[in-house]
Amino acid sequence: MAKKSFATLGILALLAAASAFGQTKLTADVPFEFSFASKVMPAGHYDITRTPAVLMVRGFTPGAGALSPTTNIGDGKDSGQGRLVFHKYGDKYFLAEAWSEHSSGWAVSVPMSKTEREIARANPDVARVTLPLRTGVVTLASLK
């Protein structure tokens, strides 16, 4: 039984390492409350990571984190500095896009939540708010 548990733990560690290798972590200080994946996120410091089909937003406030499916909207090669794009309706913000810096080369859109669709129907005047990001690449140390 112990051998099976150890093997399972080893496989999970390898999968976690493989998924983290080369991932780009975007870091943002969002100065306003916003909605992402049908969840209201407080203003604060956030780490944003992307897997091939999912955007993960994690805050440093307890419970401030969510996942959302994404759609590729470009390779990000011409994007320059990484950024988040929000749709703003009155005083409500909704995360709409995430762009990596040009060297990482990706850009994704986030589907509109039910709440955002309802607000957009009632108030078609939307402002696009762009927030620049800091970027760091996650790398794994070589074990020799």
Domain range for residue 28? 23-137
Domain presence at residue 14 = no
Partnered with residue 107 across adjacent β-strands are 74, 99
Measured CA distances, 54 to 3, 49, 88 (Å)? 34, 9, 23
Domain presence at residue 63 = yes
Domain presence at residue 4 = no
Domain presence at residue 56 = yes
pLDDT digits (tens, 9 = 90+) for 55-103: 999 998 888 899 999 999 876 566 577 889 999 999 999 999 998 876 6
Q: pTM for this structure? A: 0.75
Q: Is the pLDDT of residue 28 over 60?
A: yes
Domain presence at residue 18 = no
Q: Which long-range contacts (CB under 8 A, 24 or more apart) does 44-52 make?
A: 48/84, 48/98, 48/133, 49/23, 49/24, 49/25, 50/23, 50/24, 50/98, 50/100, 50/106, 50/108, 51/19, 51/23
Domain presence at residue 9 = no
How far is it, in rounded angstroms, from Cα 38 to Cα 116? Answer: 9
pLDDT digits (tens, 9 = 90+) for 34-52: 999 999 999 999 999 988 8
- Tally of structural domains, the chain: 1
Domain presence at residue 30 = yes
Domain presence at residue 8 = no
